[in-house]
Amino acid sequence: MIVKRTLATLAAAAAFAGTFGIPAARAETTLVVVPHSNLAILDPIWTTAYMSRNHGYMIYDTLFGTDENSKIQPQMVGSWTVSADKKVYDFKLREGLLFHDGAPVTGEDVVASLARWGKRDAMGGALMTFVDKMEATGADAFRITLKEPAGFVLEALGKPSSNVPFIMPKRVAETDPTKQITEYIGSGPYVFVKDEFKPGDKAVYVKFDKYQPRKEKPSGTAGGKHVYVDKVVWNLALRDYQAQVNALANGEVDIIENVPFQHYATLLKNKDIEIRKSKIGLQYMCRFNHLHKPFDNVKVRQAVLASFRQQPFLQAQVGVKDLYKPCASMFTCGTPYGVSTGSEIQSKGSMRKAQELLKKSGYDGTPVVIMKPTDLSSIDKLPEVAAQLMRQMGMKVDLQAMDWQTLVSRRAKKDPVDKGGWNMFCTAWVSPDIGNPINNAALGARGAATPWFGWPEDAKLEELRAAFMRETDEKKKVALAGEVQKRAFEVGTHAPLGEYVQPQAGRKAIKGWITSGLAHTYWNIKK
Amino acid sequence: MYQFIARRLLSTIPVLAIVAVLVFMLLRLTPGDPAAILAGDAASTEQIEGIRKTLGLDQPLPVQFGIWLGQMLQGDLGESYYYKVRVTELIGQRLEPTLSLAALTIVIAILVAVPLGVVAAWRFGGWFDRALMGFSVFGFSVPVFVVGYLLVWLVSLKLGWFPVQGYKPMDDGFGPFLYHLVLPSITLSVIYIALLARVTRASVLEALGEDYIRTARAKGLTESRVLISHALANAAVPIVTIIGIGIALLIGGVVVTESVYAIPGLGRLTVDAVLSRDFPTIQGVILFFSLVYVVVNLLVDLSYVILDPRIRY
Residue A154: closest CA among A48, A63, A53, A60: A63
**What is the pLDDT averaged over residues A37-43?**
89
Domain end point (choices A235, A252, A271)? A235
In whole angstroms, give the CA distance from residue A369 to residue A396.
9
Task: Please check the confidence at residue A13 and state whether its pLDDT lies above 50.
Answer: no
Residues A443 and A352 grouped into a single domain: yes
Give the CA dihedral A189, A195, A198, A199, nearest 10 degrees: 70
In whole angstroms, give the CA distance from residue A368 to residue A425.
11
Most confident range, picked from A243-252, A508-517, B249-258, B285-294: A243-252
- Whichever domain contains A398, its CATH number is 3.10.105.10
Q: Is B258 left (phi over 0), alpha (psi -120 to 50) or beta?
A: alpha
Residues A231 and A286 grouped into a single domain: no
Question: Cβ of B32 and A409 within 8 Å?
Answer: yes
Count CB-CB contacts under 10 A for residue A465: 23
Residues A80 and A189 grouped into a single domain: yes
ipTM confidence: 0.80
Domain end point (choices A235, A268, A295)? A235
Residues A346 and A401 grouped into a single domain: yes
Q: Total structural domains in chain A?
A: 2
Task: Please check the confidence at residue A19 and state whether its pLDDT lies above 80.
Answer: no
The per-residue pLDDT for range A336-345, each reduced to its tens digit, is 899 999 999 9
CA-derived radius of gyration, chain B: 24
**What is the pLDDT averaged over residues B117-132?**
94
Check if B43 contacts A (Cβ < 8 Å).
Answer: yes
Q: At A281, is the pLDDT very low, low, confident or very high (cuts 50, 70, 90)?
A: confident
Residue A70 per-residue DSSP state: S
In whole angstroms, give the CA distance from residue A200 to residue B164.
18
The per-residue pLDDT for range A152-201, each reduced to its tens digit, is 999 999 999 989 999 999 999 999 988 899 999 999 999 999 999 988 89
Task: Determine which helix (DSSP H) or strand (DSSP E) holds A324, and give its type and residue range.
Answer: strand A324-325
Task: Please check the confidence at residue B87 and state whether its pLDDT lies above 90.
Answer: yes
Question: Among the residues of chain B, which ranges form H helices?
Answer: 2-29, 34-39, 45-55, 61-73, 87-122, 127-141, 144-151, 174-208, 211-218, 223-225, 233-234, 236-252, 255-260, 266-275, 279-307
In whole angstroms, give the CA distance from residue A518 to residue B40.
17
Of A120, A201, A246, the CB nearest to B164: A246
Domains of chain B: 2-73 (no CATH), 95-307 (1.10.3720.10)
Answer whether residue A479 is part of any domain. yes
Residues for chain B: how many in total?
A: 313
Residues in B closer than 8 angstroms to A199, CB to CB, are 80, 82-83, 85, 90
More confident residue, A87 or B8: A87
Of A48, A200, A411, the CB nearest to B264: A200
Helix axes B279-307, B61-73, angle to 10 degrees: 50
Indicate the burial class of B210 (C-beta count within 10 angstroms; 0-12, 13-18, 19 or more).
Answer: middle
In whole angstroms, give the CA distance from residue A515 to residue A280.
9
Residues A229 and A287 grouped into a single domain: no
Task: Please check the confidence at residue B85 and state whether its pLDDT lies above 70.
Answer: yes
Average pLDDT over chain A, rounded to an integer = 92
Task: Determine which helix (DSSP H) or strand (DSSP E) holds A141, and give its type and residue range.
Answer: strand A141-146
pLDDT of residue A25: 52
Residues A343 and A429 grouped into a single domain: yes
Q: At B292, is the pLDDT very low, low, confident or very high (cuts 50, 70, 90)?
A: confident
Residues A290 and A231 grouped into a single domain: no
Residues A211 and A306 grouped into a single domain: no
pLDDT of residue A2: 42
Domain end point (choices A235, A269, A290)? A235
Q: At A31, is the pLDDT very low, low, confident or very high (cuts 50, 70, 90)?
A: very high
Residues A340 and A480 grouped into a single domain: yes
B242-255 residues labelled b (16+ CB within 10 A) or e (exposed): bbbebbbebbbbbb
Greatest Cα-to-Cα distance within chain B, rounded to the nearest angstrom: 84
Answer whether residue A303 is part of any domain. yes
Residues A227 and A322 grouped into a single domain: no
More confident residue, A178 or A371: A371
Residue B230 per-residue DSSP state: I
- Closest chain A residue by Cα to residue B258: A237
Check if B50 contacts A (Cβ < 8 Å).
Answer: yes
pLDDT of residue A409: 81
Answer whether residue A527 is part of any domain. no
Of B31, B54, B160, the CB nearest to A410: B31
Residues A231 and A372 grouped into a single domain: no
**What is the pLDDT averaged over residues A298-324?**
96
Side-chain-side CA neighbours of B289 within 13 Å: the count stands at 23
pLDDT of residue A291: 97
Count CB-CB contacts under 10 A for residue A479: 14
Answer whether residue A313 is part of any domain. yes
Average pLDDT over chain B, rounded to an integer = 88
Q: Can you give the residue range of the structural domain that contains A226?
A: 30-235
Check if B157 contacts A (Cβ < 8 Å).
Answer: yes
Answer whether residue A179 is part of any domain. yes
More confident residue, A138 or A11: A138
Task: Enumerate residues 19 to 58 of chain A having a beta carbon within 8 A of any beta carbon in chain B.
Answer: 38, 40-41, 47-50, 52
Of A41, A252, A441, the CB nearest to B164: A252
In whole angstroms, give the CA distance from residue B168 to residue B175.
9
The per-residue pLDDT for range B211-262, each reduced to its tens digit, is 999 998 998 899 888 888 888 888 888 888 888 888 877 876 688 888 889 9
Helix axes A351-361, A298-307, angle to 10 degrees: 170
Q: At B96, is the pLDDT very low, low, confident or very high (cuts 50, 70, 90)?
A: very high
Of A47, A236, A375, the CB nearest to B39: A47
Q: Is A18 left (phi over 0), alpha (psi -120 to 50) or beta?
A: alpha
CA torsion through residues B177, B179, B184, B186, sign = positive
pLDDT of residue A17: 41
In whole angstroms, give the CA distance from residue B206 to residue B212.
12
**What is the pLDDT averaged over residues A75-103?**
97
Q: At B201, is the pLDDT very low, low, confident or very high (cuts 50, 70, 90)?
A: very high
The per-residue pLDDT for range A482-501, each reduced to its tens digit, is 999 999 999 999 999 999 99
Task: Please check the confidence at residue A10 and state whether its pLDDT lies above 60.
Answer: no
Task: Enumerate residues 223 to 282 of chain A having a beta carbon within 8 A of any beta carbon in chain B.
Answer: 235-240, 242-243, 246-247, 249-250, 252
Question: Cβ of B32 and A199 within 8 Å?
Answer: no
Q: How far apart are the first and last CA of chain A?
A: 38
Residue B275: closest CA among B82, B43, B44: B82
Task: Enumerate residues 14 to 33 of chain B having a beta carbon within 8 A of any beta carbon in chain A.
Answer: 31-33
In whole angstroms, give the CA distance from residue A31 to residue A229.
7
Q: At B189, is the pLDDT very low, low, confident or very high (cuts 50, 70, 90)?
A: very high
- Whichever domain contains A49, its CATH number is 3.40.190.10
| Beta-strand pair A282-288/A494-500 | antiparallel
Residues A303 and A194 grouped into a single domain: no
Most confident range, picked from A104-113, A154-163, B53-62: A104-113
